[in-house]
Amino acid sequence: MAFSLDRIFTTRTALPKNGGVVEIIPMPALRPYIRCFWVCERDKYDKVSRVIPDCCADIIIDVENNGAGFVGMCPDSFTATHVNAIFGIRFYAWAVPQFTRTNAVQLFNALISPQNLFDNFTEFKDSIIAAKSTAERVEIAQNYLIGLHDDRCDCDVMNSLYNIVRNNGNISVNDLSRGIVVSKRTLERRFMQSIGVSPKTVTEMIRYQLLWQDCIGNNFCTLDSVEKFGYYDEAHMYNDFKKYHGIGLGEARQEYYDLSHFYNTFA
C-alpha cells in the first residue's frame, strides 16, 4: 500500500498570508515519499505565516547563509516568518526512514542537523546553494534522493495507514490491529519503529488533516463532517480542530479564503 497511499492522501498547509512560497511536485518515482519541494523568496515574502500539522517532515536549506535543518513531524501549529531565501524538501513522515537509518523515534517533533541523518548531506547542501535556479535545485535534490532511497518499509504499518485514510481517521487502534492480524501492542511498537509515534497519534493527525481539507471545500457542512469523521458532536469537532490548527474552524476558513491564490503547484 506504500505506493498507493499518496494517491488517496495528500496533505495541505494553512497557506501563508502573502506570496513568495511555491510548491513543486516531485518526479513520479518520488511522489509516494516526497510531498513536494518548496521555495521561499525573501523579497516576495515578509509576513508571518501559520504552520499547521501536515504529517510531514522537512529539510530546510537557507541558501543565503549556508544553513540547514531537519524538522520532524510536528503535532502543533505555530507561526513563522521566513527571513531568508529557502529551499525545502517535504517528506511524508512515514517515508523518512527510507532515506536515513536514524531511529524514527528521534525524528518526531524534532529539530536536527541533517548532516546527522542523511549521507553526504554537506556536499548536497553545497550543490543546492551553488545552483542558479529553482529548477536546477529540484533536479539536484531528486537525483540525491533517488540515490539515498532504500525501498524498505513495514507493509503492515503502510496498510494500517491506508485503512486510517480510507476510514477518514475514524478507526480505533484495536480495529487497525485486527485488520492486519497483529496485537495492539505489536502494532504500536511497529509504528514507533517506522514513524516514531503511536498509531493513535497518527490517526488523530490524519483525521485533522482530512477535516481541514473538507472545511476549505465549497460544500463544507459541519453536521456532515461530524458524522464523517466520527466526532461526538460539533463541539467535539471544533475543539479537536482548534487543538491542532491553533485557531477555531470558522476563523481558519476566513483566514484561508482571505488569501489570494498564490500557492502555485507545478506538475
In a domain, 263, yes or no: no
Indicate whether 71 and 106 sit together in one domain: yes
Q: Report, as an integer, the average pLDDT of 36-64.
A: 82
Report how many domains make up the chain. 2
pLDDT above 60 (res 160): yes
In a domain, 239, yes or no: yes
Cα(32)–Cα(187) distance, integer angstroms:
22
In a domain, 234, yes or no: yes
Indicate whether 212 and 106 sit together in one domain: no
pLDDT bucket at 22, cuts 50 / 70 / 90 = confident
Q: Give the tens place of pLDDT for each residue, 86-126.
A: 999 999 999 999 999 788 888 888 899 999 999 999 999 99
Helices 155-166 and 184-194: crossing angle in degrees, nearest 10, is 100
Cα(234)–Cα(141) distance, integer angstroms:
43
Indicate whether 38 and 119 sit together in one domain: yes
In a domain, 176, yes or no: yes
Neighbours of 89 (CB within 10 A): 28
Q: Considering 132, 151, 170, which residue would you say is the last residue of a domain?
A: 151
Indicate whether 96 and 184 sit together in one domain: no
Indicate whether 59 and 37 sit together in one domain: yes
Strands of 111-112's sheet, edge to edge? 111-112, 67-71, 56-62, 86-92, 34-40, 21-24, 265-266
Closest CA to 105 of 206, 186, 204, 195: 195
Indicate whether 40 and 111 sit together in one domain: yes
The confidence score (pLDDT) of residue 219 equals: 86
Q: Give the tens place of pLDDT for each residue, 180-224.
A: 999 999 999 999 999 999 999 999 999 999 999 999 888 899 999
- State residue 196 phi and psi, 5-degree precision: 90, 10
Indicate whether 80 and 191 sit together in one domain: no
pLDDT above 90 as % of the chain: 66
In a domain, 205, yes or no: yes
Closest CA to 22 of 11, 38, 35, 44: 38
Whether 173 and 184 have beta carbons less than 8 Å apart is answered as: yes
pLDDT above 80 (res 2): no
Higher-confidence residue of 92 and 254: namely 92
Q: Considering 105, 135, 151, which residue would you say is the last residue of a domain?
A: 151
pLDDT above 50 (res 17): no
Cα(39)–Cα(84) distance, integer angstroms:
10
Measure Cα distances from 176 to 10, 84, 172 in Å: 21, 43, 6
Whole-structure pTM value: 0.89
When mean pLDDT is compared across 126-130, 152-156, 213-217, 254-258, the lowest value belongs to 254-258
In a domain, 267, yes or no: no
In a domain, 264, yes or no: no
Indicate whether 140 and 183 sit together in one domain: no
- For 221, the 3-state DSSP assignment is coil
Q: Give me 79's grid cell.
A: 507561526
The confidence score (pLDDT) of residue 44 equals: 53
Average pLDDT, the chain: 87
pLDDT above 80 (res 266): no
Indicate whether 71 and 183 sit together in one domain: no
pLDDT above 90 (res 228): yes
Q: Considering 151, 174, 189, which residue would you say is the last residue of a domain?
A: 151
Indicate whether 75 and 172 sit together in one domain: no
Q: Give the tens place of pLDDT for each residue, 209-220.
A: 999 999 988 889
Residue range(s) defining the domain that contains residue 76: 2-151
Closest CA to 51 of 62, 42, 38: 38
CATH number of residue 178's parent domain:
1.10.10.60
The confidence score (pLDDT) of residue 259 equals: 55
The DSSP letter of residue 101 is -
Q: Report, as an integer, the average pLDDT of 236-253.
A: 94
Whether 233 and 265 have beta carbons less than 8 Å apart is answered as: no
